[in-house]
Amino acid sequence: MTAPLLTGTGITKDYGATPALRGVDLSVAEGEIVAVTGPSGCGKSTLLHCLAGILRADHGSVVFRDQNIGMWSEAARSRLRRSEFGVLFQFGQMVPELTAAENVALPLLLAGSGRREAREAALAWLDRFGVADVADQMPGAMSGGQQQRCAVARAMVTRPRVLFADEPTGALDQLNGEQVMQAIVRAVREEGTAVVLVTHEAPVAAYADREIVLRDGAVDPTGLGVGAP
């Protein structure tokens, strides 16, 4: 087993009086897919946001390649999200005023790539996820499945080392969800990208190498995610 690429240790996070995470440990190795599952409200999205450096944990550390990114400035963490990390949010993905290709090219432009180079890479990634035909359409004119494929392309366009995916198939019907999962897994295996995969669906979690079950903000060793009442 190689040294972990990303390690969260003792992560806690409160929203005001609501404790969302109560000391979670999770580590992900290079190229590994780890599913985070558990019932609604157990803290999955909060954990993903802490690991991706979108939220700062109240206590505990998030170490990426020997660096405690929890201590980094907001600016440094958002640079990380434009290079080494790719994020697929649970809600609200695409910029509605931009075409699919412009959406996918955006992270590269923000990271300083030239326009033509960014557009070419965006088109290649849209093609990889089977949505090259909607490259010049606005998100509003696309189906949910097409938007989600574009969102995955945008999260992968910088060829991140870790992809954070929050319910990547949550809004899709079964067949579409499955095609999107297959496309994600194929791409990350080819790229050697590690994935933190948040889902409450067992068939989606089954794409992962390993599963962590959360219950009330803590890791549930029984895996059931439901407590005795």
Using rule CB under 6 A, residue 2 touches ligand ATP: no
Q: How far apart are CA 200 and CA 170, in angstroms?
A: 9
Using rule CB under 8 A, residue 129 touches another protein: no
Helix spans in the chain (H): 44-51, 74-80, 100-110, 115-128, 144-156, 174-191, 202-205
70, 64, 32, 30: which is closest to 212 by C-alpha?
Answer: 32
Q: Under rule CB under 6 A, which residues in 55-114 are in contact with ligand ATP?
A: 90
Using rule CB under 8 A, residue 30 touches another protein: no
**Distance of closest approach, residue 167 Cβ to ligand ATP, in angstroms:** 7
Using rule CB under 5 A, residue 45 touches Mg ion: yes
Q: How far apart are CA 64 and CA 68, in angstroms?
A: 6
Stretch of 10-18, 38-46, 125-133, 203-211 contacting Mg ion, by CB under 5 A: 38-46
CA angle 102, 105, 106 (to 5 degrees): 85
Stretch of 19-27, 88-96, 124-132, 202-210 contacting another protein, by CB under 8 A: 202-210
Using rule CB under 6 A, residue 37 touches ligand ATP: no
Using rule CB under 6 A, residue 41 touches ligand ATP: yes
Using rule CB under 8 A, residue 47 touches another protein: no
Using rule CB under 8 A, residue 17 touches another protein: no
Using rule CB under 6 A, residue 42 touches ligand ATP: yes
Cβ atoms of residues 113 and 149 within 8 Å? no
**Distance of closest approach, residue 32 Cβ to Mg ion, in angstroms:** 21
Cβ atoms of residues 58 and 14 within 8 Å? yes
CB within 8 A of 226, min separation 6: which ones?
Answer: 39, 215
- Across-strand partners of 11? 24
Footprint of ligand ATP (CB under 6 A): 15, 18, 20, 40-46, 90, 200
Footprint of another protein (CB under 8 A): 182, 185, 201-203, 205-208, 211, 222-226, 228-229
